[in-house]
Amino acid sequence: MAAISLHDVRKKYGTTEVIHGIDLDVTDGEFIVIVGPSGCGKSTLLRMVAGLEPITEGTIQIGGRVVNDLEPGERDIAMVFQNYALYPHMSVYDNMAYGLKIAGLSKDAIRERVDAAAQMLELKPYLDRRPRQLSGGQRQRVAMGRALVRQPAAFLLDEPLSNLDAKLRVQMRLEIKAMQRKVETTSLYVTHDQVEAMTLADRLVVMNGGHAEQIDTPLNVYRTPATTFVAGFIGSPAMNLMPATVAPNGKGLDLDGGGTVKPRDMALPESGRKVLLGVRPEHLSPVDDLNADLKLAIRAVETLGADTLAHGRLADSGGVGGEMVARLPGTSAVEPDQVLPLAIEPGMAHLFDRESGKRIGNM
């Protein structure tokens, strides 16, 4: 095992900077997930740790050793790619054993490591097959097994489940997490899928435009997003973000779509400040008119079984205001064109500065 440390890591292509000073300390055995939309720099960052992409500035350490100028093969890491990168003419056994043969291990040592990895990944019956004879999930296990047998200081995984169907992704997610806990190898995992990120990570690195917007545990990122980008990216459906202005004398927030939300436990910023009120769909509950914080003019309803999603506009009346969604119990009897009074769960309203997008606090 080995800790990984990134200090002020930057990447430029010509004069264009695409990675803007990332600082990250990964402890021994920790599972870090780098998550963000396409083009945010997450795979570039992983490739720089792997040595597949040179860094422009900063320092990368693996196991206390600066690796900036080391080739990938000298960094004691193993990488798993989304396209598996298996040799089609080799058996499963030979694919898993190839790196060990190049490293000069004895046949007995190779057999021992491959058998142990195949047992863990349930690949024993398939060791004599070629990759074309395997399912997508089995091929991904082989790719993981090839990394596992090397017993590296760290695993780097670049969207390894993106080519699998939804059901298989869930299964493989659980298997990856179980494997990582068993071998306790430091891991960096890149994905654009927030469900993968939330379920796998010890800590998340939420990337946006080459910046690390927030680094924290999945629950902390969900409960206290640092910016409006994080608030909108983590969570499905996304957090409702409603423009508002702080009312005079701290009486509440005057919503641009109509109505006023009164503060609970938080002292509001100065009067007249432009803010965004953030509320997750699951933190809205139907109430009577007298107890309503918001009113939703429903335009569409999605019935999902366990949940019902009510989509509409924020409004006191008439459906004028910002788009929003409420996640309601599956038994909720709501219909389009209905105006639904909603209460915000105490402590679950978030305030962000409208100009910077940075978090102010909860109310």
pLDDT in tens, 154-181: 999 999 888 788 888 888 888 888 888 8
Mind listing the pLDDT tens digit for each residue in 227-260?
999 999 999 899 999 999 999 877 889 888 778 8
Residue 271's identity, in one-letter code, is S
pLDDT of res. 88:
92
pLDDT of res. 317:
42
Res 281 pLDDT > 90:
yes
Q: State the average pLDDT for the chain.
A: 91
Give the span between the Cα atoms of 224 and 350, in whole angstroms: 8
Per mean pLDDT, which of 109-123, 211-225, 309-323 is the most reliable? 211-225
On whether the CB atoms of residues 24 and 215 are closer than 8 A, the answer is yes
CB atoms within 10 A of CB 119: 11
Q: Which residues pair with 34 in a beta bridge?
A: 190, 205
- How many residues make up the chain in this entry? 363
pLDDT of res. 122:
86
Give the span between the Cα atoms of 275 and 360, in whole angstroms: 9
Domain annotation for the chain: domains and CATH numbers: 4-232 (3.40.50.300), 238-362 (no CATH)
pLDDT of res. 318:
46
On whether the CB atoms of residues 40 and 85 are closer than 8 A, the answer is no
- pTM, whole model, 2 decimals? 0.89
Give the span between the Cα atoms of 251 and 185, in whole angstroms: 53
Angle between helices 92-102 and 136-148 (to 10 degrees): 20
pLDDT of res. 200:
93
Torsion from C-alpha of 175, 178, 181, 183, nearest 10 degrees: -60
| pLDDT grade for 1, boundaries at 50, 70 and 90 | low
Give percent of the chain above pLDDT 70. Answer: 98
| pLDDT grade for 327, boundaries at 50, 70 and 90 | very high
Mind listing the pLDDT tens digit for each residue in 7-44?
999 999 999 999 999 999 999 999 999 999 999 999 99
| pLDDT grade for 312, boundaries at 50, 70 and 90 | very high
